[in-house]
Structure formats: C-alpha cells, structure tokens
Chains A and B, each alone.
Chain A
Amino acid sequence: MLRILGAARARPAAGAAGVAALLSLAVLAAGCGSSSSGETQSAASAASGVATTPPPTPTSCASKGGTLKILSAGDVDHIDPGQAYYAFSYEITRPTQRALLVAKPNSIDLQPDLAASMPQVSKDGKTVTVTLRPGVRFSPPVNREVTSADVKYAIERGFSTSVANGYAAAYFGVLEGAPTTPPSFPEPISGIETPDTHTIVFHLSRPEAVFDAALSLPLTAPVPEEYAKPFDDQAVSSYGLHQVATGPYMIKNNAAGSINGIGYQPGRRIELVRNPNWDSSTDYRLGCADQVLFQEGYQDPTVLTRTILSGAADANGDVPPPAAELKSILANSTQSKQLYFTPAGGSRYIALNTSKPPFDNLNVRKAVAYVLDRNALRLTRGGAVDGAIATHFIDPSFGARGFDQAGGKSYDPFPSQDFSGDVAKAKDEMKKAGYENGMYTGPEISMVADNVAPGSDTAKVVAADLAKIGIKSKIVSVTHSTMYTKYCNVPKNEPNVCPNVGWLPDFHEPQAILDVPFNGKNIVPSNNSNWPLLNDPRVNAAMDKAEQTLDPSARYGQWGAIDKSVTETAAAVPWLWENFPTLFSSRVVPALMVDNQGSPDVSLMSVK
C-alpha cells in the first residue's frame, strides 16, 4: 500500500471556476463523524468540504453469485503477494490472501485474519507470538491446511533477491538473524520459530512498536515452501505466476497451478474465481460473487467513469474519476450516492534539499513555507475534492493516533490568508537569512518534476511562488518514475527542489508516515525516500525513542510532537492531505477498504 503519490491516481487539474462549483457542491455533500476510534475517517471532511464516510459495512450478501467488474488503467505492480506494494495490488491480495492480521471492515483498526487472535507481545517487546486459525486451506493445486511454517517461509522469501519484497527489511529487518545482505534465494531466519503447526514466534533484536501492525502486510500471507521453492529458486521468482490462495477467491489457474495467460493476463485482466478450499466459517469475508474481473487498460478516466455509471462495470480500481466527472456526479442526487471519498492517509509535499544552498538555511526554507500558495497547489490537482490543505504531515484520518497530538487542524506554523501564501513574512525570513530587501540573490535553483499534468502544473506554481522572493528555478521535466529513481531518490543527483513527492503509510501508525521520509538514519545513496535529506539529530533521537515505545498513548504523543518538529524545520512543505474517490455502480452493494485508500473490497461487495 505504501506508495508514492503519483500518476496512478492522478487527476487532471480543473479550472478555477469548475473547482469553485465543485467545492460548493461538495460542501452540500459533507458529513461528519469521529475518527478517534478508527471507525471512520470523517475528520478530513471539515477541511476539504467532502464527506469521507464509507458505505455501511455489509454483513451478508445481497445475493450469491454474479460477476463483479473492476476497471483500472494499469496493472498491479507485482502479482506475487510477497512483492505487491500498490494500493491496487492490494485489491487482489485482500480477497485472495490471508495475512496474519487485517484491517477491520470500514476501519483502520486491525483484527486477526489468519491469526486466531491478536499477537501476544512479551513485556520487553522483543518476542511476539501468534497463534494461527485452524481450518484455513490453500487453494488447488496445493490443497492442504496452512501451517505456521508457511508463514515463516513467506516472510523469509521476502528478503531474497529473487522475490525482492520492497518493505521486508524496513519492517522485518528487526527480526533476529534477518539478512543484512539480501541472499539470492530464500534462506531461514533464526528469529522466526514455529514450535508447532499453528504457532509462530518472532524474536526481535529490539522492541519495535509497529511490528504487529506490519503483520497485516501481505508478506505474512502463507506460502507453501514445498510448492513455491522451485519457483523462488529462479533468478526472478515466478511463484507469483503460480500462486495459491487462502481467501475466498483465487486467481484462475490451470491444473498445474499456473495463472499466466489464464487468470492473469498482464495489462489486460485479472480473473478471480472461487477458492474451493475456502471455509467461510474461518473468515470475516463474505465472498458473495462467483467471479471478479479486474479489467485493465482503461487509460481514459472519463470512459472508465461513465462505464461504471452505466452499470457495465462496478468500481474504479486504480484511477479516480476526473474532476469534471466528479462535479457532474456530485450534482446528481442519485449518482452522488454511489461516490465515496476516502482519506489516503498521507500527504503531498514540496521537498527542499537541506544538504546544499540555499535550502541548507532554515530561514530560507521558512520563507518558502510562507510564500507557497497551497491553495493554488491544490487547484493543480482538482481542488477541494482532492482533500484538505495540509499544514503538517500526519493525516487527519489518524485522529487520536498522532494527528490530534500534533495540534490537529489548528496547527499551522506557516499560516497565511486562505492558504494563499504570505509574501511579507517570507521576505522577513529572507532578511533573517541575510538577503537584503528579502529577495534572493544567489544562482538559479534546480527542480526535477513530472513531465505531465498535474505534477508539471504543481512545479510551475512552486516556481512562480519562489520567484516572489527572487528565487529563479530551472525545471527539468521527466516521467514520474524517472523523477524518483534517477533524481529525487539519489542524493548525489538530487535537485534543490522535488515538488512532486508524497508519502502514504503502509498502515495507520504515525511512524509509517514520518520515519522513512524524515529520519536521518534512512538517508541512503539510492532509493532514498528522505527527499529533503533531513538529518536533524533532535528529530532522529525522538524518532528512535518513539519507534520503541510500545504504549500506544505515549507513542502517539511522541509522534505528534515529532510531526511538529519536522514541520517546523520546513525541510518539506506539506500542502495536501489527499482523498481518493471510489465510484460504485448502482447494481452492487458497495464496500471499500478505508485502510487502503478507499479501494473497492470485492470480498465484501455483492451484486444486488
């Protein structure tokens, strides 16, 4: 789920008039609620003017059978559940794979899934014991019951180069004996024990506050070693193309277990069929439909949206309806009931490179934080329906999990009228930085941005705002993935400004929002996600302490304070707490994953 906010869910920018109309319509649709229990994420609604109440949780099927059809523009990032790391990919893993834990329906709170109960954590926080639910079986051709050894192998394989899970080292690297250099093929990890077939014990080298939350990631979904090993022992594992399932659905396969060209046609379709070995008494999922089709390749979001509205398809998988369509839907009393907004859980921000002039100067960075017109920035992505303007990093949907502790919506260290920027205060900061008249006199700065809208528009707004304090920018425009992998993720190539970055959490723990992007210890020579290159000893120490604080109440207080500290460094300027819209057809009972950017949850949806 953790992914950089990018083109996959990007929307074209709307004109100001359209956005104003949209805002007024959205305000009419606004709802409210509490987020403190994690039941719903309505806190964002007040700031964005858009209701973020999910549809009621289905407790039974409106009908058994039928086909659900989800439309998407692109394909999953990886079909292997041990590699999958996109919100859209989780739309496939959630109904097919059972991780140890899972978010409760319509909630960001976790509950047992493959586990029979929540993990037992020892007093010192270094031993985590999980008991597995009996009666969960693999789909054909494996067919046998899941054991704790399958979970152990699933995690071990994630560390190997052949599988190359993107988050194994980040969350499971704390396991005793976890590889520090990735092995070519899966190798045992001494810190995972399986005393019996239904118990798994994790030994950690230090207490890790979010370890149990990480057990909800698909890496913990069981993988049968005797079946998967031959596939994993290839240079690039092909287990994903032969995967077996534990959920109510499996990707359609042949007798040998291959899904390649059968249930999985890359870039075309993914077909889920019933898992004959699924026992509904072991699962909260409903598994109502007989078949689920993920039809890919819908590059035009307007066509995608209208196809759903026509009833020929049932929900948008990875691309949101474009702003013009959202406006039309919100204006229609019937269609608006089919549309739901969900907080993404993270923020978009402008990253300022603190390792070189001029942004190595705190006052210059503060000047930028003051001068940026965050309302104009939000308009580049569609305006108020896209979410609330961010004033710090922890998303409102976190509520009492750090958002409130950071001061909630009232915390804004760089305020301005209507978020449109304060040039006078910016110039004051420039003067403090030693620039007479408050105007920058140094050389042109560099910026690497997306080469298509809306990212390119965002970069232009940033450049125009920087010019107000005399900073001239040279924008290099590249594709979104190039921007990351060749420039902003590589410190030696990093420009002064990365205007198109953002961070979404893997789960709703503030550590998952703040640690990787702002902890100095995470600065690495490649694939670096600390884009401001912020290495503040005070912030680093506070993070290290919070990472090991097991008491939630104390931990959330610590992260709230860290959020404020990071924001006040102005190393990055947050500007959007993003919402994602999900549109359902009128022929289905809707269900979505509030913990996964509002992606449709086909395991709970049913045809009316």
Chain B
Amino acid sequence: MTVQAANGTTNAPRRPPPPGGGPWALGSVVAGALGSSMTRYVLRRVLWGIVLLFVVSALTFLIFYAFPSADPAALRAGRQATPQLIEQIRHALGLDKPLYEQFWIYIKGLVLHFDLGYSYENNVSVSSQILSRLPATIALTLGAFVVWMLVSLPIGIISAIKRGSAVDRATMGGALVAISAPVYWLGLIVLLLFSRDIGWIHLLPGSGSYVPLTSDPTQWFLSLLMPWFVLAAAFAAFYARMVRGNLIEVLGEDYIRTARAKGLGERRVILRHGLRAALTPIVTMAGLDLGILLGGAVLTETVFNIPGVGRYAYDSIINSDLPAIQGTVLFGAFFIIVANIFVDVVYAFLDPRVRY
C-alpha cells in the first residue's frame, strides 16, 4: 500500500513496463485508462493476486511430490494390477512426465480453459465438482457470518460500555468458553442434543440433511441452523472480545472526549464516532475469515456432512487425488486473495485517514 501524496499521485516510483508488454504493462494501460489511483491500486493487487495463485499452485504441486503421499497410478490401478498396467496408467495420466512439464500442462489448462483437470479417483471434472459444492459452502459461510456478526457486535458494545459489570464478566466468560470449544466437539454435542434423528430433543434436521436451496428452501434453512451456530460460536466469541477491546481503546481517545465536550449524545458518540473507528480492524479480520471459510469450512462440513468444498478438500487429501487437492487449494487461495483486496478497499471507506 502506498500513501497518497498531496498532489493526488502516489509517491511510489513508477516502474517501466517490461519489454514486450505483460501483465504489469497491461495493468498500467488499464489503470491509465481508468485514471484514479484507487483503480490502479486495485488492479495492482489483482495482478499480484494472480501471481500469488501461481505460486500457491506451484507450492501445492511440489509439496504433493516432496512429502510422502500415495501413488495415484497405483491407487487407480487397484490391488492386483500388474506393474505394467500401473506404468501405463501413469503414462495415460501424464504422471511419468517431468514435474515442470506436468505443472506447465496444468497451468495451461487452467489459464486457457479454466480446466482444473479430472479427478484421479472418479474421472469427474474438478471444476464441476467445486462449483457444484460451492453453494453449500457459501450458504454455510455467509449464514455463519451473519450469526457471528449479529451476536458479537451487540455483546462487544455492551461489554465495552458496561465494562467491569456482571454483564461484561458473564459475556466475556461465555466468549472464552465458546472460543475454547473446538468445532468438531461442539458440532457433535449439538447434534446429540438437538438433531431430529439422534438428538435428545428432536428439534432440527441432523447430519447429512442438507439439501440445496432450490429443492426445498425450508429444509435448506433448517438443515443449516445448527451448522451456522456451531461455526459462528468461536468466531462470535472472538469478535465480541475484539469489539470490546477496540471500543474501550477508542472511547479513551481525545476526539471522543472532544465529541462529548461538544455536547453530542452518548449514543451518537459511541455509534458514530467510537464504533466506526473500532470496527476498522474487525473488517480486516472479517474479510479474511470469510475468505478462508469460503475456501471450505472443513470441520463443520465434515461433522454435519454438508457436501461443500471443504469436505471435497478433505476427501481429496485422503484419496491422494492431486487434481482435486490442487483445485481446492487454489480455490481457497482465490477467496483469501479476493477477500484481502476487498478488505483493503472497504478500509478506505471506513477510515477516512486511509488513502492509497
């Protein structure tokens, strides 16, 4: 990030475009056409994001081969397959080519055709698998995000205002418990308490009950209620503590004292001046957490048997299914990078001191 100079231009030295053009040159041309420093900044971040995705992809590739993992050709061939058959499969899958060549073929398919390859396990397109699972992951993540924000903001604000009170102690104590409860444990407990099939109180659909929104909206909503709250629990607790801490700090600032001295109402001081500044780091965190979860909430999806991207990632690792591993890792990295860019942009709107 560069800080905007007084004359409206960035004070970072402008790099010349590489000979023959390239991403940077393209970015500069587009940025020049679009004009504003913010646009240039966003474009630059997007280009760096693409570079980062490339690096992530290369690292995943290397890690798969560098660390002990199963032989995909042998797995595909089955138990009694002859060594000749395994070698033929290795050849057919291109696994006998040098690593750099395999990687080049992969990247070429990805860039030219958005082709993430085919699963070694079942020969199904990885991109179609990820896309078909994406709605479940998005539904889980966004729902949980709404829950944790709706819970954490009021609790954090009240705790900050009523600092040291019984309410503060009770909510922060509760938050500590929620942070300490692992998702896989909490998920099982909630299932054993409230699910219709195996719960003590037959209240909500249990594990494996997820259906797409389009097929049955009511069942979709009910099946996600428990996962939303379980996934949100730890986040809500952590965010409540963050909001509380930030707000307490902000409320001690001079400009808050000035606002009060000018006769502004306490509600306006807290919500308009205090909370806005206190929320800035929360936005950063929320963006990143959202990006990470969109890449797959592995544990929650596994405990509640939600067919999302996270469970696909889990299954692909278990099966040493490299194309699927690559696809899910890239996908997760994509969301994290997008979330990063988004957060940086939102930052500027929330905090007028920040400019690019």
Chain B residues, Cβ within 8 Å of A161? 85, 88-89, 91-92
Complex interface residues of chain B between 67 and 104 (CB less than 8 A to chain A): 68-71, 74-86, 88-89, 91-93
What's the minimum C-beta distance from B74 to chain A, rounded to whole angstroms? 4
Among candidates B118, B208, B320, residue contacting A236 with C-beta atoms closer than 8 Å: B118
Interface 1/0s, chain A 492-533, versus B by CB < 8 A?
000000000000000000000000100000001111010000
Q: A4-B79, A74-B315, A165-B78 are in contact. Are A307 and B68 (CB under 8 A)?
A: no
Q: Which chain A residues border B302 with CB–CB below 8 Å?
A: 297, 299
**CB under 8 Å from chain B, chain A span 299-329:** 299-300, 302-303, 306-307, 309-313
Residues of chain B contacted by A312 (CB below 8 angstroms): 196-198, 206
Among B34-42, B123-131, B261-269, the stretch in contact with A: B123-131
The chain B residue with its CB closest to the CB of A4 is: B79
Q: How far does the alpha carbon of A482 sit from the alpha carbon of B320 in the complex, in Å? A: 9
Residues of B within 8 A of A237 (CB): 123
- Residue of B with least CB distance to A167: B80
Contact string, B181-205, partner A, CB cutoff 8 A, digits 1/0?
0000000100110001110000000
Contacts of A268 in B (CB 8 A): 307
Is B68 in contact with A486, judged by CB distance below 8 angstroms?
yes
Interface centre among A170, A260, A312 (most CB of B within 10 A): A312
Interface presence of A144 (CB below 8 A): no
Q: How far is the CA of A162 from the CA of B89 in the complex (A)?
A: 8
In the assembled complex, A248 has its CB within 8 A of some CB on chain B:
no
Per-position binary interface string of chain A over residues 148-179, scored 1 when its CB falls under 8 Å from any chain B CB and 0 otherwise: 00000000000001101111011000000000
Q: Could you say which residues of chain B place their CB within 8 Å of the CB of A300?
A: 188, 207, 303
Given known contacts A74-B315, A300-B207, A482-B68, is B307 in contact with A2 (CB within 8 Å)? no
A122–chain B nearest beta-carbon distance, Å: 26
Name the A residues within 8 Å of B305 (CB-CB).
295, 297-299
**Contacts A71-B208, A75-B315, A300-B303: A526 and B74 contacting too (C-beta < 8 A)?**
yes
Looking at B78, B303, B319, the one whose CB has the most chain A CB atoms below 10 A away is B78
Give the complex CA separation of A297 and B313 in angstroms.
12
Binary CB contact string for chain B from 304 to 342 against chain A (1 if under 8 A, 0 otherwise) = 010100011011001110000000000000000000000
Which chain B residues border A313 with CB–CB below 8 Å? 197
B307 touches A267 (CB 8 A): yes
User: A241-B124, A297-B208, A526-B83 given as contacts; is B311 within 8 A of A267 (CB)?
Assistant: yes
Query: Contact partner of A482 among B69, B83, B88, CB < 8 A?
Result: B69
Q: Does B132 contact A (CB under 8 A)?
A: yes
Q: Does B284 lie at the interface of the complex (its beta carbon under 8 Å from any beta carbon of A)?
A: no
Q: How near does chain B come to A92, taking the closest CB pair, in angstroms?
A: 13
Q: Are A527 and B70 in contact (CB under 8 A)?
A: no
Residues of the B chain whose Cβ atoms lie less than 8 Å from the Cβ of A478: 68
Q: Which of B68, B92, B207, B318 contacts A298 (CB 8 A)?
A: B207
Q: Are B123 and A75 in contact (CB under 8 A)?
A: no
Nearest Cβ in chain A — how far from B322, in angstroms?
13
On chain A, the residues within 8 Å of B122 by CB distance are 75, 78-79, 240-241, 266
Q: Are B124 and A260 in contact (CB under 8 A)?
A: yes
Chain A residues lying within 8 Å of B311, measured Cβ to Cβ, are 267, 297
Whether the pair B198, A307 counts as a contact (CB closer than 8 A) is yes
B121: Cβ under 8 A from any A Cβ: yes
- Nearest B residue (CB) for A307: B197
Do B84 and A181 touch across chains, with their CB atoms under 8 A apart? yes
Assembly CA distance A74 to B318 (angstroms) = 10
Q: Which residues, 253 to 278 on A, are CB-close (under 8 Å) to B?
A: 260-261, 265-268
Instruction: Give Cα A61 to B227, complex, Å.
Output: 39
A479/B70 contact (C-beta < 8 A), A161-B88, A182-B84 known: yes
Residues of B contacting A220 with CB < 8 Å?
Answer: none
Query: What size tier do the contact residues of chain A reach?
Result: 35 or more
B4 within 8 Å of A (CB atoms): no
A448: nearest chain-B partner, CB-CB = B68
Q: B227 CB to closest chain A CB, in angstroms? A: 13
Contact A310 B320 (CB under 8 A): no
Contact between chains at A265 and B307 (CB < 8 Å): yes
* Known A78-B122, A161-B92, A182-B85: A529·B79 in contact at CB below 8 Å: yes
CA A165 to CA B305, docked complex, whole Å: 31
A240 touches B123 (CB 8 A): yes
* Closest residue on chain B to residue A525 by CB atoms: B83
Is B119 an interface residue, CB under 8 A from the partner?
yes
> Which chain A residues lie closer than 8 Å to B119 at the CB level?
266
Q: Are B123 and A310 in touch, CB under 8 angstroms?
A: no
Write out the residue numbers on chain A whose beta carbons fall within 8 Å of the beta carbon of B76. Answer: 164
Say yes or no: A516 contacts B80, CB within 8 Å. yes
Number of B interface residues in the complex (CB < 8 A): 51
> How near does chain A come to B82, taking the closest CB pair, in angstroms?
5
Query: Interface centre among B85, B191, B206, by most A CB within 10 Å?
Result: B85
Residues of the A chain whose Cβ atoms lie less than 8 Å from the Cβ of B69: 479, 482, 486
* A184-B88 in contact given A77-B78, A307-B197, A486-B68 (Cβ < 8 Å): yes
The residue in chain B whose Cβ has the minimal distance to the Cβ of A309 is B198
**Residues of B close to A165: CB separation below 8 A:** 78, 81
Q: How far is the CA of A482 from the CA of B68 in the complex (A)?
A: 7
Which residues of B are found within 8 Å of A71, using beta-carbon distances?
Answer: 208
Central interface residue in B76, B80, B192, by most chain A CB within 10 Å: B80
What is the bound-complex CA distance between A96 and B126, given in angstroms?
Answer: 27
Residue numbers in A under 8 Å from B318 (CB-CB): 74, 479
Mark out the residues of chain A between 191 and 238 whose CB falls within 8 Å of any chain B CB in the assembled complex.
235-238
Contacts of B75 in A (CB 8 A): 481, 485
Kindly state the separation between the CA atoms of A184 and B84 in the bound complex, as whole angstroms: 12
Given contact pairs A300-B188, A306-B197, A307-B208, A3 touches B123 in the complex (Cβ within 8 A): no
Give B47 Cβ to nearest chain A Cβ, in Å.
35
**Contact: A529 with B82, CB < 8 Å?**
no
CA A267 to CA B128, docked complex, whole Å: 13
Chain B residue nearest to A7 (CB atoms) is B318
- Chain A residues lying within 8 Å of B303, measured Cβ to Cβ, are 299-300
Q: Closest CB of chain B to A170's CB: distance in Å?
A: 4
Q: How far is the CA of A502 from the CA of B121 in the complex (A)?
A: 23
Interface residues in B233-260 (C-beta closer than 8 Å to A): none
Q: Across the interface, do A266 and B121 meet the contact criterion of CB distance under 8 Å? A: yes
Q: Which residue of A lies closest to B307 (CB)?
A: A268
B79 near A3 with CB under 8 A, answer yes
Residue of B70, B303, B314 with most partner-chain A CB within 10 A: B70
Residue A138, interface by CB 8 Å? no
For B188, what are the chain A residues with a Cβ–Cβ distance below 8 Å?
300, 302-303
User: Are B78 and A167 in touch, CB under 8 angstroms?
Assistant: yes
Contacts of B78 in A (CB 8 A): 77-78, 83, 85, 164-167
Verify if A419 is at the interface (C-beta below 8 Å from B). Answer: no
Question: Given the complex of chains A and B, what is the CA–CA distance between A75 and B83 in angstroms?
Answer: 25
Flag if A267 contacts B312 (CB, 8 Å).
Answer: yes
Task: Judge whether A169 and B80 touch: CB under 8 Å.
Answer: yes
Tell me, in angstroms, the Cα distance from A241 to B118 when the chains sit together.
13
Residues of A380-423 whose CB lies within 8 A of B:
none
A90 lies within 8 A of chain B by Cβ: no
CA of A2 to CA of B132, assembled, Å: 32
B79 lies within 8 A of A265 (CB): no
Q: Is the CB–CB distance between A527 and B82 below 8 Å? A: yes
Which residues of chain B come closer than 8 Å to A74, judged between CB atoms?
315, 318
6 A-B pairs with least C-beta separation: A166-B78, A481-B70, A312-B197, A306-B198, A485-B71, A161-B88
Between A and B, 14 residue pairs with Cβ closer than 8 Å are: A2-B80, A161-B89, A164-B76, A164-B89, A165-B78, A182-B85, A261-B128, A261-B132, A309-B198, A485-B70, A486-B68, A525-B83, A526-B74, A527-B86
B residues adjacent to A (C-beta < 8 A)? 68-71, 74-86, 88-89, 91-93, 118-119, 121-124, 128-129, 132, 188, 191-192, 196-198, 206-208, 302-303, 305, 307, 311-312, 314-315, 318-320
15 additional A-B pairs beyond A85-B78, A311-B197, beta carbons within 8 Å, are A184-B88, A236-B92, A236-B118, A236-B123, A267-B312, A295-B208, A302-B188, A303-B206, A306-B198, A312-B206, A482-B69, A484-B70, A485-B70, A526-B86, A527-B74
